[in-house]
């Protein structure tokens, strides 16, 4: 199994209350509840180092399949088994597929905004906020394509409905967290929502997870994307 700390490979631990920690990469001090058992802390920005490549990959894509786009993004060196980078990647994959399926958006500007907003959702939000960042990313996606603001009427409602639908799917499966599973669930929820609310049909293939062996907390057959589950449901 792949370990979790980017510095030493040890398992992560989650503290009940936040405390000031120093990033082992850049030296920034900030409050966090997450570190490895050896005391190493890596800030969100350093965890997502290299994510600028997301824009280029998305802008070059002609795919209407957000799952395929997401899987390509998750295969890049900047993406780890778990981490806040997924809070950007979910919405980026959806914006790209939406655009390629005929959705009317300024894709470069939308992707830049997605990166900016998604990076503000910290790691561990799934457990500490009760709102997984992958699910929140779908709400950001809808807020961008609908030009939602806190003063909007219908776009405001649609954005919050989208987040709620994604979080419902994530919450129904339950924990422990898996950024891959929660990202896939969120994208599938968004595809159905966009079809219903915006009339844009994105492509979705059958989804089988390839990350189980890398996830120390994999839930196995309880995951709808596990290989074992696929064998039991031909």
Q: What pLDDT score does 231 carry?
A: 54
- Residue 139 and residue 205: Cα distance in Å, rounded? 22
pLDDT tens digits, residue range 156-187?
999 999 999 999 999 999 999 999 999 999 99
90: left (phi over 0), alpha (psi -120 to 50) or beta: alpha
Q: What pLDDT score does 90 carry?
A: 98
Q: What pLDDT score does 1 carry?
A: 42
Q: What pLDDT score does 12 carry?
A: 83
- Residue 176 and residue 16: Cα distance in Å, rounded? 16
Residues 6+ apart with CB under 8 A from 43: 23, 25, 26, 28, 30, 32
Residue 97 Cα distances to 34, 37, 113, 212, 228, angstroms: 33, 39, 16, 26, 29
Q: What pLDDT score does 234 carry?
A: 45
Residues of the chain with pLDDT under 50: 1, 232-234
Q: What pLDDT score does 227 carry?
A: 80
Report residue 201: phi and psi, to 5°. -105, 105
Q: What pLDDT score does 11 carry?
A: 84
Tell me the residue length of the chain: 234
* Per-residue 3-state assignment (H helix, E strand, C coil) for the chain: CCCCCCCCCCCEEEEEEEEEEEECCCCCEEEEEEEECCCCECCHHHHCCCCCHHHHHHHHCCCCCHHHHHHHHHCCCCCCCCCCCHHHHHHHHHHHHHHHCCCCCCHHHHHHHHHHHHCCCCCCHHHHCCCCHHHHHHHHHHHHHCCCCCCCCHHHHHHHHHHHHHHHHHHHHCCCCCHHHHHHHHHHHHHHHHHHHHCCCCCCCCCCCCCHHHCCCCCHHHCCCCHHHHHHCC
């Amino acid at each position: 199994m792949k370990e979790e700390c980017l510095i030493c490979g040890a398992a992560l631990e989650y503290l009940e209350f936040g405390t000031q920690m120093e990033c082992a990469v850049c030296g920034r001090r900030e409050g966090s509840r997450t570190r490895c058992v050896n005391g190493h802390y890596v800030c969100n920005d350093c965890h997502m180092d290299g994510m600028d490549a997301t824009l280029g990959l998305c802008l070059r894509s002609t795919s209407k399949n957000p799952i395929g786009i997401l899987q390509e993004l998750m295969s890049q060196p900047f993406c780890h088994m778990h981490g806040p980078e997924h809070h950007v990647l979910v919405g980026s994959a959806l914006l790209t597929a939406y655009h390629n399926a005929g959705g009317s958006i300024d894709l470069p500007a939308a992707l830049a905004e997605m990166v900016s907003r998604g990076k503000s959702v910290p790691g561990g939000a799934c457990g500490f906020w009760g709102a997984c960042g992958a699910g929140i990313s779908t709400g950001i996606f809808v807020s961008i394509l609908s030009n939602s603001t806190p003063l909007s009427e219908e776009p405001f409602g649609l954005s919050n409905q989208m987040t709620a639908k994604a979080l419902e799917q994530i919450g129904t499966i339950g924990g422990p967290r898996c950024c891959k599973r929660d990202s896939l669930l969120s994208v599938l929820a968004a595809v159905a929502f966009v079809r219903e609310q915006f009339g844009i049909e994105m492509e979705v293939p059958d989804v089988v997870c390839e990350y189980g062996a890398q996830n120390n907390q994999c839930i196995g057959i309880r995951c709808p994307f596990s290989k074992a589950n696929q064998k039991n449901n031909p």
